[in-house]
Structure 1
């Protein structure tokens, strides 16, 4: 497995470089013009205080699988300050797509990073589930993670995407659990 890298991790496409440069220029201009958009970078928070998923309403810390959170620039999920909360990456993506369609601006998206935690696999009712981790330090930037998809491992809502910040760890997990590895930008293609 050593030496296997996803094509876009080695060399970003010209389109991606141009889009990033454009986004940086727009952000700089917005700061100069005083757009009112919060320019502070988002930092993940702990989801240990009984937060419930903004899609299904389940208490996040009480269920298996990866958790997530999305911070928005001007809009507030359900009228509250802070991020939207999720008990699965699948639900996070569904929520994000609906907000993107409404024109909401994302400041940061974070998911459980299984490269940074000691996770457990639990067999229950003929399925294997991965443990949840909701401390602030357990989260990583979702756009920089590699996701194991179509594996035999389950999360809170059944089949889920298991994120790793380390590509080799994602590949090993995928090999052991009959999955494949995808990058963030390819999850919507599923």
Structure 2
């Protein structure tokens, strides 16, 4: 078992133990699990998840199923899909239960050259996702995602710093991600 899997398993056990200590019924505390996005899912852009590279995401909302509008709750890019979609839903008073994104600290990844630029892989397995609010994000690096400049999420800040040392960029907390940051990242591809 590799180091990342051991860490992920330990974190999952600690969260489960903490939830039990905090009280409440299992149904009140239980969050939906991330789903495996391999092969079956298309994004709101009609693109398959996985082959394009970069972080993926999925959102679960309380009392509002995104599929009711014909839009999925899963995304192959954070900058071009997940965050713009999410900001729009927050404007409509949709309440997120949990937002999951790829956690590159849980993945043994290799940055590879593709289409003339370094690119991250695009893991789709459930264990590669983490709660988006618990992660730090690297923006403005030379590593692209599925549709160009991207956010690269990490649960381990030291790994994020190491990524920045190699590929450049800046680190942001989840709370710092807003429309202005996302629009700035999108415009940087022009």
User: TM-score interval w.r.t. the shorter chain?
Assistant: 0.7 to 0.9
Query: RMSD of the TM alignment (CA)?
Result: 2.1
Aligned equivalent of 1:181, options 152, 157, 171: 171
Q: State yes or no: 1:48 paired with 2:38.
A: yes
Q: Which residue of 2 aligns with 1:94?
A: 84
Q: How many residue pairs align between the two structures?
A: 153
Instruction: Point out 4+ residue stretches in structure 1 off by more than 6 angstroms.
Output: none
The Cα offsets for residues 102-142 of structure 1, whole Å up to 9 and x where unpaired, read as: 11110000000100111121112321110010100000010
The residue correspondences of 1:9-158 to structure 2 (distance < 5 A) are: 40-54=30-44, 56-79=45-68, 84-90=73-79, 91-158=81-148
- After TM superposition, give the deviation of residue 39 of structure 1 in Å: 6.1
Identify the range of structure 1 (143-152 vs 56-65) with the bigger mean alpha-carbon deviation: 56-65
Corresponding residue of 1:22 = none
The answer on whether the counterparts of 1:115 and 1:164 sit within 8 Å (CA) in structure 2 is yes
Q: Which runs of 5+ in 2 are unaligned?
A: 1-23, 182-190
TM-score (norm 1): 0.75
Contact 1:50 1:61 in 2 (8 A): no
Q: Which runs of 5+ in 1 are unaligned?
A: 1-27, 32-37
CA distance in 2, matches of 1:85, 1:161: 16
- In the superposition, the TM-score normalised over structure 2's length comes to 0.75
Distance 1:51 1:72 in 2: 18
